A and B are shown apart, each in its own frame.
Chain A
Amino acid sequence: MPTQYLFVFAQVHDEFRIPELLSVAELYGFDIKFSEDPKERDTSRPFMILELKSEEHARLLAGRCILIKYVCEFYARGTSYEEMHERNRLRKPQWEKYIADTSFKFMVTAFNHTIPQRRQRDVVEGFAYMDFQGKIDMKNPEITLACFEEYPDRRGTIREKIEGDGEFDEVWFGRLIDVELARPLAKKFDVKKRAYFGNTSMEAEMSLLMANQTLASPGKLVYDPFIGTGSMAYTTAYFGAFVFGSDIDGRQMRGKAKPPGIIRAAAQYGVANRIMDLCTFDVTQNPWRCGELFDAIVTDPPYGVRAGAKRLGRKNQRQPKEGPPPVHVERPDDQQYIPPTKPYELSELARDLILLARYMLKPRGRLVFFLPTVTEEYEEIDVQTMLCEGMEIVANSLQNFGSWGRRLITVRKITTEKYPPPTFDPAHAVTENADVHVPAHKDFREKYFQGFKKNGSIADSSAQEV
């Protein structure tokens, strides 16, 4: 018999919540039943009721999902205390086993509001009819009964702390399940406390969400082809996977001291031996001998704002000089020869990345990557049209920064067929073909630096650049 569990979520990254739940459930091989009612799946609210086969599944979710704050066995909810208590009485079969002699305490709290102490006591007294005989133990109770009042989100409006006390939308009640939460990992992986990081490092919470989208677990091999300072490598390795990383710029992976920065930071998290290897190369000129190597690819591709998207070659296609590369003075970062690079347009890069993933992933493997988008111009077709045969969208979650945002795209390889490696031929680029849909993320870098002005072609507005 499936049981209803009350989940309380952090009120951040709303669009990542359901994909994360589904990924973790898939990783452990169980089902989650969501409500049929779309209002009940509204991720702008902190509460959600999920049906699970066992409490063990609730524990597994809480132990991996970064966005979960509390998990309860659900007893009752209501728009008033009367309604909630009435329903809770009907649920007696679920809690009567605790009546006789289980030590307990109550936790009364609110979202988007603070309940004054006095009324908290009144709330607890309101549960007197449950008639719990065990002793109240504030420190080490056998069970905690949790009551949450949910107030409307009034972000941005100024008001007295306790103004409107009692005017909640809904009150929720259940037995708190004692779980080891994954959420504190966001502190553990805090970039500022890391032995090595850079200005492209991905924030900890997002690196953890990304690692969950890869279904990382022991025995898997995950690849980041734009690894930079390695933020997702640490979280992915922490969940047990081996990680392989490459970057066109060795300095990003090494930093200044020795051993290489990524290894130093990985050691801090106890996962240095799960960094399979790091290599310096341009992913469009890669040395992979064969495909179907990885269970997942996780990456934050360069989109030209901070870490420019580059590829080997010259901008204006001038004929390369014949003969060996010019001799360079040895650099402190021991990269003796830095070949010239040219810009790599974002929509081209995104399509190449999906083709590369189809080649490099094992069947059922996942590609998880960020795609920056222009908020007002984005259309779902932008993402659909960058797919290729054999690759299917699993999730698409927006992190909104206002005029622009970035979408965490999760793609699954659904084919067992063998495909050739991508050619990375710019001739296939979207621009070259007028019939092809032009996505809003095309030329993202230029749009970014123009402040996403509407109208006017890029050529026009670049003239106004200071």
Chain B
Amino acid sequence: MVRLITHNLLACHAKGCTSNNFPLQFQDAAIELRDAEFNADFLRGFLPRIEWTALVGAARQLGDTSLPAEQPEMLDDEFLQKLHHVLLEVHVEEGAMVCPNCKHVYPISNGIPNMLLAEHEIG
């Protein structure tokens, strides 16, 4: 926690921040790797929701280069294993996520990101 699947689903939601507000950039990320259960159907079902470029970028930022820059057409087992690892087994425990647009800092502590907005940031 924060896993990259989660990171791929969160965008900056500060008032007025509606473009270039995704993906959030990791800052001072402390990473832990933990095994997760492999479920091929889950991965196949979820893939259409994933922003591929953002996923590859986030993984690389954290030092994992196992995913190809282009999303492959063939979802073979070898690919699904890699995807599984990147989406579900890399956890950012400490650090922050920063909005590329408005620079809002969302701190991560004990694996829980604080996505609350301040008073002047709500719509």
* A288 in contact with B123 given A259-B111, A280-B116, A337-B118 (CB within 8 Å): no
User: B10 to A289, Cβ gap below 8 A?
Assistant: yes
Total inter-chain residue pairs, C-beta < 8 Å: 120
Contacts of A314 in B (CB 8 A): 119
Given contacts A277-B1, A278-B112, A337-B116, 5 further A-B contacts (CB under 8 A): A287-B10, A289-B22, A289-B51, A314-B119, A340-B119
Q: How far is the CA of A263 from the CA of B116 in the complex (A)?
A: 21
Interface size class of B (residues with CB under 8 A): 35 or more
Q: How far is the CA of A339 from the CA of B121 in the complex (A)?
A: 10
Contacts of B34 in A (CB 8 A): 273
19 contacts between A and B (CB under 8 A): A220-B42, A254-B110, A263-B111, A273-B37, A275-B1, A276-B3, A277-B5, A281-B114, A282-B116, A285-B122, A285-B123, A287-B13, A288-B9, A292-B49, A293-B9, A312-B116, A313-B122, A334-B109, A339-B118
B35 CB-CB contact with A under 8 Å: yes
B72 CB-CB contact with A under 8 Å: no
B100 CB-CB contact with A under 8 Å: no
User: B36 to A280, Cβ gap below 8 A?
Assistant: no
B90 CB-CB contact with A under 8 Å: no
Q: How many residues of chain A get a CB closer than 8 Å to chain B's CBs? A: 48
**Closest residue to A249 on the B side, CB-wise?**
B116
A35 CB-CB contact with B under 8 Å: no
Residues 7-18 of B, flagged 1 when their CB comes within 8 A of A and 0 if not, give 011111100000
Contacts of B11 in A (CB 8 A): 287-289
User: A219 to B110, Cβ gap below 8 A?
Assistant: no
Q: How far is the CA of A246 from the CA of B9 in the complex (A)?
A: 13
Chain B nearest CB, measured from A331 CB (Å): 11
Contacts of A221 in B (CB 8 A): 42, 46
Option from B10, B41, B119 in Cβ contact (under 8 Å) with A325: B119
Chain A nearest CB, measured from B102 CB (Å): 12
B117 CB-CB contact with A under 8 Å: yes
A320 CB-CB contact with B under 8 Å: yes
User: B5 to A259, Cβ gap below 8 A?
Assistant: no
* A279 in contact with B49 given A219-B41, A340-B119 (CB within 8 Å): no
Chain B nearest CB, measured from A423 CB (Å): 9
Contacts of B9 in A (CB 8 A): 288-290, 293
* A285 in contact with B3 given A242-B42, A278-B111 (CB within 8 Å): no
Q: How far is the CA of A285 from the CA of B10 in the complex (A)?
A: 12
Contacts of A322 in B (CB 8 A): 120
User: A280 to B110, Cβ gap below 8 A?
Assistant: no
Option from A254, A290, A337, A340 in Cβ contact (under 8 Å) with B112: A254
